Amino acid sequence: MWKICAFLIVVTNCAICSHIDPINHYQTGKENSLHRDLCEFIKVIPIDEIRNLTKHFYANDEAMRESYDYLRNEGLRKIADGLSQISILKKFIGYLNDTGVDFAELKKQLGRILLTSDETKSIIVNEEGEGSGAGSLGGINAFFNEALQMISQEDVFTLFFTKIEQSSAFSGFLEKLSTSDYENMMDNMKQNHGIRELYFDLHAHGIDALEWVKSLKGFAGY
């Protein structure tokens, strides 16, 4: 199950890295079978249900509102900029780009999950307990865990193993995750001073990145 876990973590990184401008340029005409494979995984995500959950948390959890606004307006860009400083991660993203992964399109599709500023402004906030600074529903970390549980584990696993059997691009991608380059990338991320600063910055805004990774590992049965 470690490959599923590694795959989920890398896809999460790719989603964040889609905010890095230099890699948002996709050259048409390239083989894009891996891109199509990744898009199929995005289709497994119940976007409407997660958006409704987001609205529920946003309306009823003050801590969630603060974290969500920060992440959408500033946090994602900070994370993307921080990750872009890690040379081995840039190399890995370059590999994905060369195989035909359209990061601009991934950003567009994943962006459908996020609420816009206008949408959040239209949400009627439950002001009961407002100002306490506490997250009555558990904050954005509890939201992430609940949102993850909405995704069908069976559908993800079935698609994952189907792709291994039927897609040479996808199986080649997984082999890339088995190389020392991937291990070095993860080690560099753990030890990178800038990434540590990002972690503490996110934590200060109520976002526990390690808890999110833990949730992804649990989803993958790792």
Q: What is the pLDDT of residues 23-66, one digit of tens each?
A: 444 444 444 688 889 889 989 999 999 999 999 999 999 999 99
For residues 21 and 52, give the distance between their C-alpha atoms in angstroms, rounded to a whole number: 29
pLDDT score at 77: 82
The pLDDT of residue 1 is above 60? no
C-beta of residue 96 within 8 angstroms of C-beta of residue 34: yes
Long-range contacts of the stretch 165-174 (C-beta < 8 A, 24+): 167/33, 167/34, 167/37, 168/33, 169/31, 169/33, 169/34, 169/37, 169/99, 170/33, 170/34, 170/37, 172/34, 172/99, 173/34, 173/37, 173/96, 173/99, 174/3, 174/7
The pLDDT of residue 151 is above 90? yes
The pLDDT of residue 176 is above 80? no
The pLDDT of residue 129 is above 60? no
Per-residue tokens: 158? 């079935």
Domain range list for the chain: 2-23+32-219
C-beta of residue 60 within 8 angstroms of C-beta of residue 126: yes
Please report where in the chains the tokens 């900070």 appear, as a residue: 78
Is the pTM for the entire model greater than 0.75? yes
pLDDT score at 164: 92
